[in-house]
Amino acid sequence: MPLAALTACAAAVLSLATARAQAAPVEVLHYWTSGGEAKSAQLLKKMLEEKGDTWVDFAVAGGGGGNAMTALKTRVVAGNPPAAAQIKGPAIQEWGDEGVLLPIDDVAKAGNWDHLLPPEIARIMKYKGQYVGAPVNVHRVNWLWINADALKRVNAQPPATWDDFFKVADALKKAGVTPVAIGGQPWQEAETFESVALGVGGPDFYKKAFVQLDQATLKSPTMVKALETFKRIKDYTDDGQVGRDWNMATAMVINGKAAMQFMGDWAKGEFTVAGKVPGKDYLCVAAPGSQKDFTFNVDSFVFFKVKTAGVEKGQKDMAGLLMSPAFQEAFNLNKGSIPVRQDVSLAKFDDCAKKSSADFKSAGANGGLVPSWAHDMLVSPAVEGAFYDVLGNYWSSKDETAQQAADKLAVAAKTN
């Protein structure tokens, strides 16, 4: 190569390197720290860096994101928000009200998001008509994960009703296997209850109780029945649950220490990392009684107005990336969820994901598609926290009755 060409080439390489080195850092707050989650976050980092942006990791451990939200508030109050944060549901509106979010409507228009997203999800991503959030996935919450060998050991089928469930759980107990793995953290108890309530009461009850926060429904006999069913599950859990992280509970099902777990499909990310195959090593079925229904939980990122110059380019690169077909496919294969973009092929996805997608569509058509309140998608953070407290206390109390807990839920629904 002639010298002039070599020099030009070297200069080009140098200027690219300088541009990369100078790209304003995009600090990203997230709480994806378990095996499957971390793999998904790593992929996002890698794909963002391929765009010439710099990722600064702000990971706050703690399933369900409670710790991350506390960390975020501290930073925003101090006037130093991260460039991007994993936030979802009604909290997006609350941050919008604070005037701290960067609109990404230009990215959404260029990417045609209005046509690619289900309207009920697009609505959550907008503040006063403008996109401020970029969604990455659809997680289904009302799943029951089952260790296939444990089920075979007691010669049982996956339980379709609550009666079946307790029969199978009794058989497992007799066989010396812990029937249900759970971590004693408020959000895990709340999530389990949410699936029980949907399975026991059905979607109309769920909507009246948790969408409309109807006082009579919150205290109703159906709610009492749901609470009794929830508490009955405790007899089938182990003593070591206090403070246990959700992925440790999933690990118990993966290695056969426990047989079943109620958990959203981020649990599948853990099975995947462990090399387990759905249908062979483990089964994914809807929580008893909720086969036709779907509690959805959509992860999304919002972007904060930051003072540092040049960050907006990285923020908008990231917003566009999150909704790109390549990212949606690769990310969701790791995360256990399905793409939120409706035009992404599921050819590479497993049977659990295909079932999730089919059920998402049919539940949407038959009124069974409901937002997960236990995962920040429905009630305000204040009501959610109050519900967590009621359910956590009831779960651990020896003498509180289901009716007392139902009455407390009705009070909690009025929290401001």
Judged by the rule CB under 6 A, the positions of this chain that interact with ligand GAL are: 31-32, 37, 63-65, 139, 246, 266, 297, 299, 375
- Shortest Cβ 284–ligand GAL spacing (Å): 16
- Shortest Cβ 214–ligand GAL spacing (Å): 25
Q: Which is nearer to ligand GAL, 31 or 304 (CB)?
A: 31
Q: Which is nearer to ligand GAL, 314 or 336 (CB)?
A: 336
Tokens of residue 293, six digits? 């229904």
Q: Which is nearer to ligand GAL, 228 or 245 (CB)?
A: 245
- CB–CB of 237/180 below 8 Å? yes
- Shortest Cβ 32–ligand GAL spacing (Å): 6
Q: Which is nearer to ligand GAL, 63 or 133 (CB)?
A: 63
- Of the candidates 286, 277, 276, 318, the one whose C-alpha atom is nearest the C-alpha of residue 301 is 318
- Shortest Cβ 60–ligand GAL spacing (Å): 11
- Shortest Cβ 30–ligand GAL spacing (Å): 9
Q: Which is nearer to ligand GAL, 299 or 359 (CB)?
A: 299
Q: Which residue is nearest to ligand GAL (CB)?
A: 63
- Of the candidates 250, 247, 256, 287, the one whose C-alpha atom is nearest the C-alpha of residue 175 is 256
- Shortest Cβ 405–ligand GAL spacing (Å): 23
Whole-angstrom Cα distance, residue 155 to residue 169? Answer: 12
- Shortest Cβ 155–ligand GAL spacing (Å): 33
Residue 322 phi/psi, 5° resolution?
-60, -35
Indicate the pairing of strand 258-262 with strand 178-180: parallel
- Shortest Cβ 120–ligand GAL spacing (Å): 17
- Shortest Cβ 119–ligand GAL spacing (Å): 21
Q: Which is nearer to ligand GAL, 312 or 389 (CB)?
A: 389
Q: Which is nearer to ligand GAL, 205 or 360 (CB)?
A: 360
- Shortest Cβ 390–ligand GAL spacing (Å): 19
- CB–CB of 183/243 below 8 Å? yes
Q: Which is nearer to ligand GAL, 246 or 294 (CB)?
A: 246
Phi-psi region of 81 (alpha: psi -120 to 50; beta: other; left: phi over 0): beta
Q: Which is nearer to ligand GAL, 63 or 371 (CB)?
A: 63
Q: Which is nearer to ligand GAL, 36 or 159 (CB)?
A: 36
